[in-house]
Amino acid sequence: MGLNYYLTMRLVILPQALKIVIPPTVSILISAFKDTSLVVIIALWDLLKTTQSVISNPEWMGFSREAYIFIAILYFLGCFS
């Protein structure tokens, strides 16, 4: 092809390698996230406490349902992705 080493790596080899490597890597990251249930529970507890303190602010009084729905969506995306 007439490409030097760096162009061959950048234009031919790396795109093929990344196409193969990215899905298992994402799978491993999701698995590691799910396996750390204690950390998830602590983070969820902290997120709930933060939400409760925000809701107790008079400016945010009417948005409790939206805040809890947002937390539920975050938890769902983290655990069931």
What are the structural domain ranges in the chain? Answer: 23-79
**How confident is the model over 34-70, as pLDDT tens digits?**
777 766 677 777 778 888 888 888 887 788 888 888 8
Q: State which amino acid sits at residue 1.
A: M
Q: Which of 62, 37, 68, 65 is nearest to 50 (CA)?
A: 68
CA 1, CA 34: separation in Å to the nearest integer? 45
Q: What's the pTM?
A: 0.46
Structure tokens at 1: 């092809």
